[in-house]
Amino acid sequence: MKHLIITVIGKDRPGLVEQLSDTVYQNNGNWLSSSLSKLAGQFAGILQIEVATKHIPELSKALSQIDELQLHIVEDQSQTLPSLTLHQLTVTVNDRPGIVKEVTTLLNQLGINIHKLKTDTQSAPNWGYPIFKAHFLLEMPANLELGFVQQELEKLADDLTIDIDDGVPA
């Protein structure tokens, strides 16, 4: 069995996820995991599908025939999943240009890999200005102290709030 990583983007419409899941199922694929979102009227997602090697061409062809959907398929080459401890990090700050760049640059400088990132901007209750929130799932080097990471992140801005956990199994 092979694992395929499939990115999809297209105009959002009712039934699109059902059409994707049916296409995977009808072409001998097994939907393992996904992250799907509607962004600015567009449907965007990434899927992990398990399928026998002999069925990859027919699955790829069937997916490519879904109307108004662009996709990119990559075969996962990894043999085994490493055992990791992941840390959840939430960053809350007054919205401004460059905050994602600043946080991700610092994480990279500390040798931290971003496993997952979800961001959102919303109006602050009672204040009216936008608040930016970023939820990270991080793979950190074993020798890196959580307290040090928090201190370094807090240096980025006075209005930045950091919440980081002790770790969750991968």
Domain span at 105: 85-169
* 99 belongs to a structural domain: yes
Q: Do 59 and 124 sit in the same domain of this protein?
A: no
Contact indicator for 17, 62 with CB cutoff of 8 Å: no
DSSP code string of 117-132: EEEEEEEPTTT-SEEE
Q: Do 89 and 162 sit in the same domain of this protein?
A: yes
Q: Do 42 and 108 sit in the same domain of this protein?
A: no
Task: Give the domain CATH number at 105.
Answer: 3.30.70.260
Q: Do 89 and 165 sit in the same domain of this protein?
A: yes
At 49-87, the pLDDT tens digits run 999 999 999 999 999 999 999 999 999 876 555 566 799
* 66 belongs to a structural domain: yes
Can you give the pLDDT at residue 80? Answer: 57
Give the burial class of 156: count Cβ atoms within 10 A of its Cβ; 0-12 exposed, 13-18 middle, 19 or more buried.
Answer: middle
Band (42; pLDDT cuts 50, 70, 90): very high
- pTM of model > 0.85: no
Q: Do 125 and 54 sit in the same domain of this protein?
A: no
